[in-house]
Structure formats: C-alpha cells, structure tokens
Structure 1
Amino acid sequence: MQLTRPDLARVLERSLAARPVADVGWLAAPPPRARVLRERMDLEPGASLTSTADALFGWAVHRGAGLTIAPTGPVDVGVTVVQAVHVGPLWFTAPCRVVDVVRETDEAGFTYATLPHHPETGVESFRVRRAGEGLVFEIHAVARHDFWGSRAVPPAAHRVQDRVTRGYLDAARELSRAARPGTR
C-alpha cells in the first residue's frame, strides 16, 4: 500500500522468483475462513470464443476493469503479472502467477495464484465457455485476507474485490461485443 503510483516494473522484478502462496486446489476445496466468489455472465450474442479468449489472454479484461498491470507476457503457465488498483488516495499492488491455462474448442481461460505481498492469499479463475448458442464468462475466486488492513476491515476489502470483479465482468461484456463477426 502506498500513496503514489507504484513502480510496477520494480514490483514485477521482485516477484519473479517468488512462489505462489495459494494452490489451484483451493477452487475445489476452499480453506477455512476463505471467501468464495463465483460470477457468471452471458456474453454478447454471436461473440467469437476465439476472439474473446484472445482478449482475455492478452490481459484486456484486466485492463478493461481499470487495473494497471505489468505482465511478463501474454497469459501462459508461469507468467507473472503485477496489478495495481487505486482505492481513494491509496495504491495497492497485487502480484500473481498463472498456474493453469485451458484452451479447448468450447472453453478457454486461466487461473492465477497470488504471490507474496498481494493483499489476499488465494486463486482466481477466468473462463469463457460455450453455453448453448452463446458464450458465458465465469469468474471463480477463493481468497483469505493477507494484508493487515483487509483483516481489520473485511467489508472494505470485500467492496474492493467486488468492484474489481464487476469491472472484469463489464470488460468481458464489452470485449465480447467487439468479438462479434463483422464488428472489427
């Protein structure tokens, strides 16, 4: 947490050697006191799974949610990303590592796990799936408060997490509009 915009390149460099502090298994079996978040939203009718997935893998959903990000590359297993969110006068950085990637005919997405110095300890999964004639965007997150401030005031931490999640959903909807054939 800091009052000035963080130097994401420096935070990224510091995070490269770090190991995730949560396991992808948390999605199936959340640990005690973890907050489980599941969101699902229908995407724009006629959206292309390939184009929507390409936007997701290029971090467009995260940028569209209003996060400032510094990834080591497009989404792939082992890629490290540092995200920064501005809350009132404060900036928070959130380093993560991609631990799982799915790219199949009817589903595409990834999961990342938090690294040390993230305000939460947990994992978050982002998926685009075919559902009937359309596509859905799904977010599944499991996290515990790691930062003293979020442990002291959990409702405030939940509001920030909910705001970012709503941003992901809104960005995915907008990107799916752009991913319709004939809209490029």
Structure 2
Amino acid sequence: MQLTRPDLARILERSVAERPTADPGWLDAPPARARVLRERVVLGPDASVPATADALFGWRIHRGAGLIIESTGLAATGVTVVQAVRAGPLWFAAPCRVVDAVREPDVAGFTYATLPHHPETGVESFRVVRDGDRVVFEIHAVARHDFWGSRILPRIAHRVQDRVTRGYLNSAGG
C-alpha cells in the first residue's frame, strides 16, 4: 500500500523468484477465515471461447477491469504478473504466479496464486467455457486477508475485491 503509483517493473523483478503463498487446492477446500467468491456472466451471442481466451491470456480482461499490469508474458503456467489498483488515494500492488492453465476448444483459462507482498493470500481462477450454445466467463476466488490493512478494514478490502471482480465480468462481457 502506498500513495504513489508502484514501480511494477521493480516489483515484478523481485517477485519472479518468490514462491506462491497459497495452494491451488484452496479452490476445492478453502481454509478457515477465507472468503470464497464465485461469479459468472453469460457472454454475448457473438462471443467465442478462442476470442475471449485471447483477451484473458493477453491480460486485456484484467486491464479492462482497471488494473495496471506488468507480467513476464502471456498467461501460462509459471508466468509472474504484478497488478496495481488504486483505491481512493492508495495504490496496491498484487504479485501473482500462474499455477495452472488450460486452452482447449470448449474451455480456456488459468489460475493464479498470490506471491509475497500481495495484500491477500489466495488463489483465483478465470475460465471461459462453452455451455451448450452459450459462452460463459467464470471467476472462482478463495482468499483471506493477511495484510494488516485488509485485516483492520475488511469491508474496504472486500469492496476493492468486488469492484475488480465486477470489472473482470464487465470487461469479458463487453
């Protein structure tokens, strides 16, 4: 947390050597005190899994949600990404590592886990799925507030998380 825009390139350089602070298994078995979030949106009639997957893997859905992104590449297993978001006068940097990725004709997406210095500890999964004749964008996140600021002000932390999640859904659906 800081008052000026974080130096994402420097944070990314530092984060590449870090190990994730959460296990992808949290999506199936959330730990105590974790907040579980599941959201989905049916995309428009012209949506396709490949086109939406291109936007997702290229971080365009994240940028469309209002995040500033610095990454070691397109989303793929092992890629490190640092995201920055502004909440009022404060900036938060959130380093993550992609721990799982799938890209098939009817399902595409990835899961990332938080790295040290992220305001939360958790995992988040993004999937584009063909569901019959519809294309659906899904988000599944499990996180707990391990940063002192989010533990003291959990409602504000939830509002920021909810705002970013709505941004992902709107960006994918738009």
Q: TM-score, normalized by length of structure 1?
A: 0.93
Per the TM alignment, residue 121 of structure 1 is displaced from its structure 2 partner at its CA by 0.1
CA distance in structure 2 between the partners assigned to 1:48 and 1:88 by the alignment: 36
Let me know the Cα RMSD of the aligned residues. 0.6
Partners of 1:114 and 1:122 within 8 A in 2: yes
Runs of 4+ deviating beyond 4 Å: none
Matched, 1:133 2:105: no
- Determine helix, strand or coil for the equivalent of 1:172: helix
1:12-51 to 2 correspondences below 5 Å: 12-51=12-51
- 1:98 maps to a residue whose letter is V
Which runs of 5 or more structure 1 residues have no equivalent in the other structure? 175-184
2:9 matched to 1:9?
yes
- Residue 52 of structure 1 and its aligned partner are, at CA, apart by 0.8
* Structure 2: runs of 5 or more not aligned: none
For residue 105 of structure 1, what is the aligned residue in structure 2? 105
1 CA distance for matches of 2:46 and 2:90?
A: 40
Give the total of aligned pairs: 174
**2-structure distance, mates of 1:72, 1:31:** 29
Give secondary structure in 2 for the equivalent of 1:73. Answer: coil
Aligned partners of 1:69 and 1:82 also within 8 Å: yes
Once the two structures are TM-superposed, the CA of residue 48 in structure 1 deviates from its matched residue by 1.6
Residue 181 of structure 1 is matched in structure 2 by none
1:56 pairs with 2:56:
yes
Q: Deviations over 1:117-143 (max 9, x none)?
A: 000000000000001111000000000
SS in 2 for 1:20: coil
Contact 1:46 1:134 survives alignment (8 Å): no
Deviation at 1:46, TM superposition (A): 2.5
Shift of 1:54: 0.8
Match of 2:123 in 1: 123
Q: TM-score with structure 2 length normalisation?
A: 0.99
Distance 1:43 1:81 in 2: 26
Deviation at 1:49, TM superposition (A): 1.1
CA contact (8 A) 1:128 1:137 kept: yes
Percent identity for Structure 1 against Structure 2: 76
